[in-house]
Amino acid sequence: QAKLQGGDQIAAFKKALHTQAFEALSLENQLRKNLRDPAQQELFLAFQPIVDLGSGEIAGFEALIRWRLADGTVIPPNRFIPVAEQSGLIQPLGKWVLDSACAALAALRANDPNAVDHMHVNVNVSARQLEQHDFVREINELLLIHNLPAQTLRLELTETVLMENAAQVQNFLGQLQEIGIGVAVDDFGTGYSSLSYLHRFSINTLKIDLSFVQSVLTNEHSKAITQAIIDMAQSLNKTVVAEGIETQEQAALIAAMGCRYAQGFLFSYPLEKEALPQLLDQQPLVPTPRE
């Protein structure tokens, strides 16, 4: 009987594996179709503001990819980015993201050049995009096409990406720095990494992972780690952004701890580009209490 049960489990396992593989393959095929024919418009970007906690003004936006199927279902990036990474589609997809993010920022600048002159757009980059030999040239071309200064684009990389191929990454970051493109370490504090890369690599910004930020009021360890990241960023002369701020209390504490920038649902959900002019008009996003 045990044997029969084992067999059943294996069958169930095989079926689950098959379902997963089938789902990945079907996502991959659909993604390929979308990249070939962007007119389908199933892929789009959502933009979340990065806010200066002192003034409530928007410093920039993070571009976050979304995929809405014809039937209205939205597939979150955590489900299809891994598929894109495994299939190699991340390279054309990443180019599409960079192009669309630059286009959106250029449109905002054309609309009201003074109001957004200083603003930047952050784009998430996967490890496999760094393997693309002409990646920096591609980024440069996109900046030219959209007539954007290099300082308006920032790339977000995770610690794991930075650690995976140190020599390649160092070369890549050096080229970015020469051009003037900023680099942020995403989900800082969660990856497997050595802190020594912080002074070896040209990095401008640390983004404190939302898992620390969201427990900063309730967990002493999270608070200590958050404070350590803020202090370290300050002494290394890097800017620091707290991710995932949802409450006024979190914002107040993070600001008091010395963190200048924040991102989170408290200020705004990620929005489609059409909603950005109105968001810009709403500044300061959360009026800070003044004495």
Both tokens assigned to 217:
């009021």
Q: State yes or no: residue 198 binds ligand C2E (CB under 6 A).
A: no
Phi/psi for 241 (5° steps) reads -125, 130
Which of 81, 89, 157, 262 is in the footprint of ligand C2E by CB under 6 A?
A: 81
Q: Which is nearer to ligand C2E, 115 or 275 (CB)?
A: 275
Q: Which is nearer to ligand C2E, 76 or 149 (CB)?
A: 76
Residue 59 CA to residue 52 CA, distance in Å, equals 6
Q: State yes or no: residue 49 binds ligand C2E (CB under 6 A).
A: no
Site string for Mg ion, 241-260 (x = CB under 5 A): --x-----------------
* Helix (H/G/I), strand (E/B), else coil: 155: strand
Please, how many CA atoms are within 13 Å of residue 271, restricted to the half-sphere of its CB? 17
Q: Which is nearer to ligand C2E, 115 or 223 (CB)?
A: 223
Residue 174 CA to residue 207 CA, distance in Å, equals 20
Binders of Mg ion in range 57-116 (CB under 5 A): none
**Quick one: how far is CA 88 from the chain centroid?**
19
Residue 170 CA to residue 173 CA, distance in Å, equals 5
91 binds, among Mg ion, ligand C2E, none (CB under 5 to 8 A by kind): none
> Under a CB-based contact definition with an 8 Å cutoff, are residues 176 and 183 in contact?
yes
Q: State yes or no: residue 141 binds ligand C2E (CB under 6 A).
A: no
Task: Tell me: cis bond preceding 284? Omega within 30 of 0 counts.
Answer: yes
Residue 173 CA to residue 286 CA, distance in Å, equals 34
Q: Which stretch binds ligand C2E (CB under 6 A): 175-183, 193-201, 223-231, 241-249?
A: 241-249
Site string for ligand C2E, 255-274 (x = CB under 6 A): --------xxx----x----
Binding site for ligand C2E (CB under 6 A): 48, 64-65, 76-78, 81, 97, 124-126, 156, 186-187, 210, 243-246, 263-265, 270
